Structure 1
Amino acid sequence: MKTVRLISLMARIALMVTMGLGLFYWIALLFSWSWLLVLLVRIDFPNIHELFGTIGAIGLLILGGITVWTHRNSLLGVGGISYALLMPAFGMTQTLILTGNLHWLIRIAHLLVGIGAMALVQAMEKRYRLRRQAISGETSPQTTTFQATR
């Protein structure tokens, strides 16, 4: 259970860093801060963004595999594996899709794909934790506290 929590934490942190870097780039473009864009190019921003996105996708893939393995035909796990495989493909090809004035739609879709990945990672960790608690017969601390206040 600690391994799943660690993988989930690492994937969510990587995806949050990826989202932060992407938003940082958007802000630089929005306000035409050329000095910041030059700095981002110098630090090799696209590769850093892709690296953290790939780490998040690998974490999502591993959690999807664990979910399928432990839940036997879990739709959430299969969806997580599919999402983990499609997410980098969309990220790498997004600059080629709908170029021109409407490319902002693709940028927003790219942001939403990242947010969806974070939600999937969280959902898979939660389902795994709840399943493990049900198997071992443990109660969650929230339930114990709630029942104690009744």
Structure 2
Amino acid sequence: MTARILQIIVGLAGLCALVLGLVIWIANTDLTDIHMFFGLLVTLGLLVMSIIALTARGQRIWGMVGIVYAIILLIFGELQFNLLVGNLHWLIQALHLLAGIGAIVLTSAIGARYRTLKRGEAKPEAASQVSRL
């Protein structure tokens, strides 16, 4: 249940961050603080999902990948204003966009795999109870 709630939160926060980021990029508005808040929610959601994945057998590598990705995402999000300043800054903005989408997808993938593994662990117990009857 926790994994599904995290997936929903990260999906909604990611959508808000994406829309705000595009508005900031295209219309040059000053909504950066709100965009950063939603980006932080996505990063924290990925981090929590990755920590949950560390507790599941068969998910430990994805949990470690998610933790490293969350740390890189946080650093990249904070430092992106200072990278390639000038005419080529749009490349950094595009990479920032792709990194955010990657975080949303990674959170969703880890959560889906975690829920599938947990359902798989629950089925043998139910099958053994049925065979006892």
Q: Once the 2 structures are TM-superposed, how far is the Cα of residue 16 of structure 1 from its aligned partner?
A: 1.4
Structure 2 counterpart SS, 1:111: helix
Q: Which residue of 1 aligns with 2:15?
A: 16
Q: Once the 2 structures are TM-superposed, how far is the Cα of residue 71 of structure 1 from its aligned partner?
A: 2.4
Q: Once the 2 structures are TM-superposed, how far is the Cα of residue 72 of structure 1 from its aligned partner?
A: 5.9
Equivalenced residues, count: 124
Q: Does the 8 A contact of 2:59 with 2:114 survive in 1?
A: no
Structure 1 counterpart SS, 2:87: coil
**Overall identity of the aligned pairs, in %:** 36
Structure 2 counterpart SS, 1:25: helix
d(CA) in 2 for partners of 1:136 and 1:72?
15
Q: Alignment partner for residue 59 of structure 1, among 45, 49, 52?
A: 45
d(CA) in 2 for partners of 1:91 and 1:67?
24
1:76 aligns with 2:62: yes
Q: Once the 2 structures are TM-superposed, how far is the Cα of residue 114 of structure 1 from its aligned partner?
A: 0.4
Q: Which residue of 1 aligns with 2:74?
A: 88
Give CA deviations for 1:10-65 in whole Å, capped at 9, x if unaligned: 11211111011001112214xxxxxxx3xxx3xxx111111111111111000000
RMSD: 1.5
Counterpart code for 2:19: G
Which TM-score applies when normalising by structure 2?
0.87
Which TM-score applies when normalising by structure 1?
0.78
Q: Which residue of 2 aligns with 1:115?
A: 101
Any unmatched runs of 5+ in structure 2?
Answer: 125-133
